[in-house]
Structure 1
């Protein structure tokens, strides 16, 4: 075997089961080695699509995402997707071929590229260290939840090498004294609230049990939506997407515990959701995350599931019910969904209100669904009005706030969720930016529903700059027949201007869903989204 083959077989042996990429000469052999060892290769049409799909696959499956790219240009094409994954702490390994010859036209500083977007850069140094270096990248991805670029120098890849057993994975231990202090706070709080984030997606059962024992209400950041789905004490999402009753109950909390959540401006509405008198605790594997976005009174560096188990084991007896009293439960049941909040419909004879459209769509879709949401002015509508069965049913890649990630994200989510209806929710700008992956979705035979909130513009900029009287010609476009374009890719498609226009979607959902369905929803765009108003405040 050579080094490329050893790297591929080692990763497959560690558990790599899906590999996303675009193959060139530099990553041809390592990709074939992964396939030979049992991994499935998904050929996307663009490297950014590969990185985004791998990121989504990891988010939904809980397994590390694997990307394979050509040297130089293959890596630079993937960088936006890698940046999103790195900022989201997605366990992902990017196998990047590397040209080291000084005058090679493919040569770029791949270490610097990784560092620039917050990823970890590693390298297979030699034939003798190939297994150790590969396993080290895997362990950094899994144990530290890092996105790792594993550089594969071309001359090293070709060297003869022998496979061997990789070293065992070690995990950080829990600081017991800090857990005791957290347990004491939980026992004393009258109105405790848990906010679970990306770092707690594996800890749902532990957090649910601890919350029940201490009387806490349950909320999530947007990326962890669905973690507590079906729990009568769940407030759903905290932050810009929070319902009025959820915002009110979180603001009234006297103890807020963030579990693997950064407490950034999105989750706290620039801090306004957490009152100054509340005690704030943050649990995270990354010490640098503690207090980075919001003041905290206690920080614990630990795995969230392990910390919750340890706190439950030493939790003192409580004197009361905490926040779990009957009037609170009744309010959550009556007002806890966005569809229960009244609104004035903005639709006209040519455009459908995006809330009306999304509520109607939610009633059509089967319960077993997985929804991937792109970025843009529209993004709150599917995030707030479409229900999900659990946290494996929602993929929200917004850490880098780039449009164009939703379509490939739905591809990765679909492959991680056999048996569930995959739904991509995109704006027209993001859909057209990533449309090459529509061919990938069609080629793979994925029965995906692709919903485009089409306002013929970059809506965020329209609503941000329009009120100031600025010219908008550069961010507004002629109406485009996206349904006709989708049919050209071999998809079924429909244009929606009224709820009655959804009839073909109902028929497609009935089966067999042998090709994707694209819904071009011509949405009313008369008002800005309040969640992006929050974002623009913080830039």
Structure 2
């Protein structure tokens, strides 16, 4: 009688490669090193494949927060941030974050699972998480939607989505893959190189010549620089052109850091101040680069240019969308470089003798100093010393190399106008779409991109509750993020809006936890501070390794709005 020895059960490492492996291999072939996300039932095939890859996975506790982290990672790296989520509820939870990424031109590649192929179309099989048309929910939010029906389509679909995300203007894209396709074994070689060619619109030469003629012939040229300058990495070209033209520069909230804050030609970012709006309106030629002149950049659409406008914009839909202009559909860096070249040797200003010398009365530098002095005088008349001291303490405590991420809170509204980031791409906020909860998860994404430098997140107590669960993420990965929570007992900016409009506020007052005790329950060091100790406490937290929380009980006020002409 013979006996046979049972074959050993295959180990997990002996399992055949699957569609999930094709996803992670494709991402790696395109240059991805880190992916964000949160697993779910239909997406397990791709998460299992992560275990067999060299990609770093950073998992957050809520899909929307994972999207915010990916958004900030993409901004910080000027690259693509993959985001992996599951079907239905998990997928839909990313929509607010993807809307912010779209508004800020952040290249997030969101990859979601789908129900098995047989159930696509909705209602026939009753799968968990099933939607009639899941991708339809994303079409009005992202740049492009991509779908996969077979494993062989995965590498090409991932490459196409990656290319779309990086084509100018950068933005989020959505790719969905059915559960059974992710789990199905594949008998093909591992994905090697994948070629992509992101489209970057080049400026037309005749438009550059016309724009250069208008700028060099202007007596009062002014530049408004938006987020497109930062996303294109065009800071050096902007500085060269401004200095050649001796043109004052205003940066939008999204363009903060695009131009040196202390430069004699810098008007900062006081876009909600009528003095700045008047100055922009008085330009005989205004160069708008990397901005669509939307609500915030136009002082709530009260801006009315009296001179000629030249607009450089990579997003064709934003070109001349708010004001008539000599529109140049182009990448900001390429267009500014071409303008620098075209204006070489040209006289600045229509006057043969040029503008007055720097510092002289009537010079561009003197006009800039005058506008900034009027802004300071207006603030000084409003008894806003507390707010200015708090913002100054934050700036003093923040190391030169640090990055800050701001939620939709009163202190962030101050920062949009008054905060000097001291370098480019060092301040990120949710002012594009304006959703709550951005600051802390965004800071985690920045910290993942460069763990060697500290990151500051700023939230109000209302916004903090959107992402409090991510204290566990910060602790799990030991990320060097300090979270400043300004606790004023409610939705402070909405309280102000409603009180100003209706005499009293409704629905803005909040019960909230003891944020210090709550942070410590996650194993995150925390301290309660006051305006006098804020700078010292923040500096100590930022210097310590790993995550930390600083809570500032304070009721801050906004400066008075100056949207309408006096």
5+ residue gaps, structure 2, are 1-16
Deviation sequence 1:413-433 (CA, Å, 0-9, x none): 222344332010111100012
Deviations 1:42-92 (A, max 9, x none): 111111111000001111211111100011121112221112112322211
Encode CA deviations 1:351-386: one digit per residue, 9 max, x unaligned.
x93322221232222222101010133322333444
Q: Does 1:329 align with 2:365?
A: yes
* Kept after mapping to 2: 8 A contact 1:192/1:216: yes
Q: Retained in 1: the 8 A contact 2:453–2:480?
A: no
Question: Conserved in 2, the CA contact under 8 Å of 1:83 and 1:119?
Answer: no
Query: Which of 244, 261, 264 pairs up with 2:291?
Result: 261
The Cα shift of 1:7 comes to 2.0
Alignment CA distance shift 1:332-1:522 (3 Å):
farther
- Using the TM superposition, give the Cα deviation of residue 149 of structure 1 relative to its aligned residue in structure 2, in angstroms: 0.6
Map of 1:252 onto structure 2 = 282
Alignment of 1:308-323 (within 5 A): 308-315=336-343, 317-320=346-349
Match of 1:488 in 2: 521
Q: Is the 8 A contact 1:280 1:298 kept in 2?
A: yes
Q: 1:363 to 1:330 in 2, by over 3 A?
A: farther
Q: Return closer, same or farther for 1:11/1:184 CA change in 2, 3 Å cut-off.
A: same
Pair 1:136 & 2:152 matched: no
91-100 vs 250-259, which deviates more?
250-259
* Aligned-residue RMSD, C-alpha: 2.8
**Which of 183, 197, 201 does residue 169 from structure 1 map onto?**
197
Asked if 1:406 corresponds to 2:419, the answer is no
Gap regions ≥5 residues in structure 1: none
Please show how residues 356-505 of structure 1 align to structure 2 within 5 Å.
356-469=389-502, 472=505, 474-478=507-511, 480-500=513-533, 502-505=535-538
State which structure, 1 or 2, has the greater radius of gyration over its C-alpha atoms. Answer: 2
Task: State the Cα distance separating 1:470 from its structure 2 match.
Answer: 5.6
Give me the whole-angstrom Cα distance separating, in 2, the residues matched to 1:401 and 1:83: 9
Match of 2:310 in 1: 281
Residues 483, 493 of structure 1: 8 Å contact kept:
yes
Name 2:136's counterpart in structure 1: 112
- Correspondence for 1:295: 323
1:65 pairs with 67, 75, 81, which one? Answer: 81
Q: Kindly indicate whether residue 216 of structure 2 is the aligned counterpart of residue 183 of structure 1.
A: no
Q: Report the more deviating stretch, 21-30 or 497-506.
A: 497-506
| Native 8 Å contact 1:61 1:392 kept in 2 | no
- Which 10-residue stretch deviates more, 301-310 or 484-493? 484-493
Match of 2:550 among 488, 505, 519: 519
Deviation at 1:187, TM superposition (A): 1.4
CA distance in 2, matches of 1:156, 1:269: 50
Matched, 1:85 2:101: yes
Matches of 1:469 and 1:221, distance apart in 2: 30
Q: Distance in 2 between matches of 1:16 and 1:112?
A: 27
Structure 1 residue 126, shift from structure 2 partner = 2.4
3-state secondary structure, aligned to 1:155: helix
Cα distance between partner residues in 1 of 2:242 and 2:218: 12
Q: How much does 1:345 deviate?
A: 8.3
**Which piece of structure 1 moves more, 43-52 or 185-194?**
185-194
Of the structure 1 ranges 453-462 and 384-393, higher mean CA displacement relative to structure 2 is found in 384-393
Contact 1:215 1:324 in 2 (8 A): no
Q: Which range moves more in the overlay, 470-479 or 387-396?
A: 470-479
Give a deviation string over 1:283-335, Cα, whole Å, max 9, x none: 1222211122x212211111111112222232261154569843443565687
- How far is 1:17 from its partner? 1.9
1:343 alignment partner, one of 380, 403, 406? 380
Shift of 1:219: 2.4
CA distance in 2 between counterparts of 1:466 and 1:77 reads: 32
1:236 aligns with 2:268: yes
Q: Structure 2 vs 1, CA of residues 442 and 247 (structure 1 numbering), >3 Å: closer, same or farther?
A: farther
- Are the structure 2 counterparts of residues 278 and 164 from structure 1 closer, same or farther at C-alpha, using a change threshold of 3 Å? same
1:338 and 1:386 mapped to 2: Cα distance?
17
TM, length-normalised to structure 1 = 0.89
Q: Tell me, yes or no, if the aligned pair for 1:334 and 1:340 is still in contact at 8 Å.
A: no
